[in-house]
Amino acid sequence: MKRFSTIVATLLALVLSVSALSARELNLIPEPSYVDLEAEGDYVVTEKTRITVVDEMWHPAQLFAEEMMEYFGSEKPLRTVKRGDKGIKVRTDIFVPKEGYEMTVTEDSILIIGGSEVGVYYGLQTLRQLIITNDGRVPCGFIADEPNFEYRGAHLDVSRHFFSVEDVKRYIDILAAHKLNRLHWHLTDDQGWRIEIKAYPELTEKGSMRKETLIGHGLEPKWWDGKPYGGYYTQDEIREVVAYAADRYITIIPEIEMPGHSQAALHALPWLGCEEQEVGVWTMWGVTPEVLCAGKQTTYDFLETVLSEVVELFPSELIHIGGDECPKDRWKECEHCQAMIKAQGLANEEELQGYLVARIEQFLISKGKRMIGWDEILDGGVTETATVMSWRGINGGIYAAERGNDVVMTPMNLCYFNFYQTKSREGEGLQIGGYIPFDMVYNWDPYQKMSDEAKAHIIGVQCNMWSEYLKDMETVEVMLLPRLAAMSEVQWATDRRNNDTIRRKMEVMRKFYEACGWHYAPYYFEGRD
């Protein structure tokens, strides 16, 4: 009997030990580089906890203090002070990687050391996750962390459907919490021009409004809603959003589409077209044959004028020029385009697009910027200073990297988050098509089939949010979450992903989303992905 009691006691101790270990698992997204939780105990963060600021790290500390005010439901943010031994302390150290941080937690204090201000911010975002998902209790121990990729991006299309300034800020908040640092803002397309350009007020007066919106997959009249739709951002609003993102260490890369996907601009300024024909702001999705004329000097004057205003609004070194899906039918029939092909000694219309892209690239360089575009910019030849976004699969990215271009990998079959999340599509509403579940994103290898030389030019990874059927921010969030968590692990923790732990971590992350008031899709958690 005594021996039996001893066995029971041993088993009970083992169960308690496992339970204690389980309670001390951090379950962070994205996964940190190194974690040591051998120390016992917790530090408990409350609304009275102070933040001691060293090295003038006031800005990340204040942002964190305000986020904690929201979490605790208090009327004031956590207090920030210059001196103190207890509570949360933040500072920098040149021996920590620039975007990295180290966090040491004892029962008396939490010390976060960043390699820079942004490293401190990321450390505080980790702390925020731990506080929210563990009811304020932060396990004692040590974390050292830094990202794998320099460029960690997400895209937002505001042309097909327009999102308010507050919506875009909310989107930025979600990206920042996942430690992303780039927002690719798709501002112009066939279905709407969304950015004020002082030199051409017609672009927003006329080009921002379409007469109706396609709400089905068919082409019968019943599939359009018959309601005028539009919206645009003033330059002051653009500055406001850019500043808001910068405050959260996110750089906004604007996209001004050219020479295709420009029908909204053609509606506003018909002289931009080959035949100067009258066209409406497009009410369909897909690819229209109406493109900018690449044979007239006035087109280049227009593009340079627009980009001159754009570069003043966006501090980003990279400016996105689109360059994708440009039909050449109009150019083949255009006397101006054919004359330009002859004058420049070009072989065909493909090389004419290359000529346009090359001219725009040189203009951006003259403004102290660098060009980024979809992988079609490779078709006409670009210099090695251009950055390529590989969306038509991975081959364009591999080719660009091997020739020396920097590359952002964003293949459509893995990174288009407007695609369905389940095979059955049950309960998902109407979307554009495709199928990208959480696990497919999580298990993606961005370096697939690449040589070591090519890998050196892969600067980052991006997910894309096209908005053909995304009418409001709630729908955007449901398409984004939880897949953004999988993408953030690809971007930040590429070499330390673990299929054995990800579902447990996501159950914890789900609590974080709910505390933040963000909408997310249930399919992954229900096992329906």
For the chain, list the domains and their CATH numbers: 25-145 (3.30.379.10), 151-498+510-526 (3.20.20.80)
Q: Residue 443 — φ and ψ, nearest 5°?
A: -95, 5
pLDDT at 100: 98
Pairing of strands 370-374, 318-322: parallel
For residue 93, indicate whether it is catalytic: no
Is the previous residue joined to 482 through a cis bond, with omega within 30 degrees of 0? yes
- The candidate with the shortest Cα–Cα distance to 171, out of 447, 453, 475, is 475
pLDDT at 9: 39
pLDDT at 220: 84
Residue of 155, 178, 186, 261 marked active site: 261
For residue 261, indicate whether it is catalytic: yes
pLDDT at 20: 38
Listed in order, strand segments (DSSP E) in 202-333 are: 209-210, 229-230, 251-258, 318-322
Largest CA distance in the chain: 101
Sequence-ordered list of residues with C-beta below 8 angstroms from that of 461, at least 6 positions apart, any chain = 149, 151, 152, 153, 408, 409, 410, 415, 446, 487, 490, 491
For residue 189, indicate whether it is catalytic: yes
d(CA 256, CA 303): 9
Global model pTM greater than 0.85: yes
Residue of 102, 189, 349, 468 marked active site: 189
- Asked if 458 and 401 count as a contact pair (C-beta separation under 8 A), the reply is yes
pLDDT at 8: 34
Residue 337 DSSP SS3: helix
Which residue ranges of the chain lie beneath pLDDT 70? 1-24
Residue of 325, 350, 379, 428 marked active site: 325
pLDDT at 5: 39
pLDDT at 13: 38
- Asked if 259 and 292 count as a contact pair (C-beta separation under 8 A), the reply is yes
